[in-house]
């Protein structure tokens, strides 16, 4: 059997929770992504983190041992700036609620960065760990005017760091939303534009999106009609995977990036006496029983194979759901 990655000409990879957590690389990520590049698969990085420039991101990745340059990084800050420029035109004044990197992206596409008291036509908001209450308040005061556009880089509620899971840009966006009663335009994932931008830049036609978050990476891939790989090194649990709503279900699920070079064991689906069953022969059987998934696994079966089989069974039994479900996984 061929390696999972052999069907694709590019990897469009998330960063936080896939390549690193905080400053530290995730086990197996660097060697696997470099190996993909060496075998002719283009590797690009698609990040919702708007606090750093793409050159800074590329430099960080290089310091971890990855072979990468700034042309192979696209950020939600770039996407937000481009969206504002497309809507408002060159020279339009915009206020920044975020990092200097977001301001530089705005200038690079011809926007004019101004203060909140200088009649901006849009507020661009992106993650900045130094953002404070006063910044959020100024954005809220400005956005009380409904004619001023509000474009945010992303709405990730959490971000994985070296000490654990921390609040992400979505929590800051929600603070402004609570104060203004408004909903923003989202430029990064889960929108499709950020993926199309990097595909056009690289000239690839058959990429696969790799990410750890269902609500951004995987939903974004589905919105862009691209295949996706969920990797279990970030914020999601196996319960999240099994219970994912239809729009957030990945094409594949792996435990870590080393598995990109393994054959993919796809569970076989069946229905016996009205019960949906998924099977990886001799290793795992998962059977849907009302609100439960009963799992019978050989002692050599990995958590990845068990979780993948449970998800396959539950998704087959619930092919269309707009909300996350609440299946219970029971070991036999």
Query: Which of 14, 212, 217, 265 does the annotation list as catalytic?
Result: 14
User: Out of 16, 212, 215, 265, which one is annotated catalytic?
Assistant: 16
Written as one string, the DSSP assignment of 289-312 is: ETTEEEEEE-TT--HHHHHHHHHH
Q: Is residue 5 within 8 Å of residue 227, measured between CB atoms?
A: no
Q: Which residues contact 234 (CB under 8 A, 6 or more apart)?
A: 14, 16, 17, 18, 21, 160, 211, 212, 213
* Residue 217 bears catalytic tag: no
Angle between helices 76-88 and 193-202 (to 10 degrees): 100
Q: Report how far apart, in Å, the C-alpha atoms of 112 and of each of 90, 100, 105, 108, 122 are.
A: 8, 14, 11, 10, 11
In the chain, beta strands by DSSP E: 10-13, 20-21, 24-25, 42-47, 73-75, 93-97, 112-113, 122-125, 149-152, 158-161, 164-167, 185-186, 207-211, 228-231, 252-254, 268-272, 275-280, 284-289, 292-297, 328-331
Rounded Cα distance between 294 and 100, Å, is 51
117 is known as an active-site residue: no
**CA distances (Å), origin 204, targets 2, 228, 246:** 21, 15, 27
The answer for residues whose C-beta is within 8 angstroms of residue 322's C-beta and 6 or more apart is: 245, 246, 247
- List, in order, residues 6 or more apart from 49 with CB less than 8 Å away: 15, 16, 57, 75, 76, 127, 154, 159
Which residues are catalytic, by number? Answer: 14, 16
């Amino acid at each position: 059997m061929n390696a999972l990655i052999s069907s694709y000409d590019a990897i469009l990879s998330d960063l936080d929770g896939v390549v690193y957590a905080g400053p530290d690389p995730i086990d197996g990520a660097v060697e696997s992504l470099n190996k993909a590049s060496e075998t002719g698969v283009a590797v690009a990085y698609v990040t919702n983190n708007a606090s750093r420039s793409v050159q800074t991101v590329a430099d960080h990745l290089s310091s971890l041992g990855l072979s990468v340059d700034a042309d192979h990084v696209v950020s939600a800050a770039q996407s937000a700036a481009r969206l504002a420029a497309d809507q408002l035109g060159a020279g339009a004044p915009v206020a920044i609620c975020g990092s200097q990197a977001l301001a530089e992206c705005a200038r690079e596409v011809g926007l004019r960065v101004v203060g909140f008291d200088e009649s901006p036509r849009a507020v661009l908001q992106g993650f900045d760990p130094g953002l404070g209450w006063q910044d959020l308040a100024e954005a809220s005061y400005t956005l009380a005017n409904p004619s001023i556009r509000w474009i945010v880089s992303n709405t990730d509620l959490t971000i994985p760091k070296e000490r654990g899971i921390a609040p992400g840009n979505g929590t800051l966006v929600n603070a402004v939303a609570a104060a203004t009663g408004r909903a923003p335009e989202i430029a990064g994932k889960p929108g499709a534009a950020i993926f199309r931008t990097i595909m056009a830049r690289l000239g690839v036609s058959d990429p696969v999106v790799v990410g750890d978050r269902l609500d951004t990476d995987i939903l974004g891939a589905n919105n862009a009609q691209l295949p996706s790989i969920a990797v279990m090194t970030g914020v999601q649990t196996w319960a999240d995977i099994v219970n994912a709503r239809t729009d957030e279900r990945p094409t594949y699920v792996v435990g870590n990036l080393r598995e990109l070079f393994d054959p993919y064991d796809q569970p076989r689906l069946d229905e016996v006496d009205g019960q949906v069953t998924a099977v990886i022969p001799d290793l795992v059987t998962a059977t849907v029983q009302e609100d439960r998934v009963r799992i019978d696994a050989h002692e050599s079966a990995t958590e990845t194979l068990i979780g993948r089989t449970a998800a396959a069974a539950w998704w087959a039994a619930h092919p269309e759901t707009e909300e996350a479900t609440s299946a219970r996984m029971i070991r036999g």
